[in-house]
Structures are given as C-alpha cells and as structure tokens.
Structure 1
Amino acid sequence: MMPLTLAGIGERNVIGRVGGNEETRRFLGNLGIINGAEITVISAIGGNVIVNVKDSRVALNEDMARHILV
C-alpha cells in the first residue's frame, strides 16, 4: 500500500486503509472515503489532491491525503 499522494493522476485505486486519529477518520468517512471504496486522483498540485470518490469530487490537502492508503 502507498499513500494517496503517490497515486498517479487518472489511476483508479481501492482504499486499503484510512489512518489518523478518530476525528480524521470520521471526517474522511463522512466524505465517502472508507476502506474498500474506489478512488481516482483527478488533479495533484503540491501534494494537495482533487479526487473522485462515490461520484463526487473532493479536494484534500496533503496532510489528509497522506492518511489514505491505496
């Protein structure tokens, strides 16, 4: 597994694990970022990413993206 920040643009990935503290996991879970969900990186600029997850586009800063392992 690797952090989402290292995933290629346009590459479909499956979320293997969501790390971080309870508050971070709850926040990401509310966005649909949970284990087993499919996620695609749309754009990446300076570690910040825009992803497509569950038919929604979500912008994540580098810190949040590092907690998502694909």
Structure 2
Amino acid sequence: MSLDEAVLGTEYMIKDISTSDEEMKSFLFSLGCYSGEPITVVSRKKNNCVVSIKDGRYNIDIDLAKAILI
C-alpha cells in the first residue's frame, strides 16, 4: 500500500521507496524518509499530504506519497 492510501493519524512503517528517480529518492532520504522509519499522514488536501517523519512535518505532493510504500 502506498502512503496516499494511508488512514489519517495512523502511524505506519516505511517499507520501501518505489521510484526509479534518484533525485526523488535522495530528496525523501534527506527528509528522513527511508525503510524502517515510522511515518504518519497528519492531513490531506487535494494534491498534497502533510506527513510527520521523526520530529518534522512536511508537505509532500501526491506523486511523492505514491512512491512511499508502507
């Protein structure tokens, strides 16, 4: 299941980042988004999600959310 299908407020473990785009992988890694890390969707708008990773909150677009497998 990808992050765009996640239930709001539920903590999930990241299983994988599913993309061939190395720049996207590098960006997500810089946010602390990698396998084994807990992630929570805080809110969802039309084409964006606010996620909580470690001690930070980030606004990511739907393409990034679809690349994060939980």
Question: In which range does the TM-score fall when normalised by the shorter chain?
Answer: over 0.9
How many residues are paired up? 69
Q: Deviations over 1:19-45 (max 9, x none)?
A: 211111001000100110000110011
Would you say the 8 A contact 1:15–1:38 is kept in 2? Answer: yes
User: Is 1:52 matched with 2:52?
Assistant: yes
User: Counterpart of 1:3?
Assistant: 2
1:1-70 → structure 2 map (5 Å cutoff): 2-20=1-19, 21-70=21-70
- Gapped regions of structure 2 (runs ≥ 5): none
Normalising by structure 2, report the TM-score.
0.94
Unaligned runs of 5+ in 1: none
Identical aligned pairs, as a percentage? 36
CA distance in 1, matches of 2:47, 2:7: 12
Structure 1 runs, 4 residues or longer, greater than 3 Å off: none
When normalised by structure 1's length, the TM-score is 0.94
How far apart are residue 47 of structure 1 and its match? 3.9
CA RMSD of aligned residues (A): 0.8
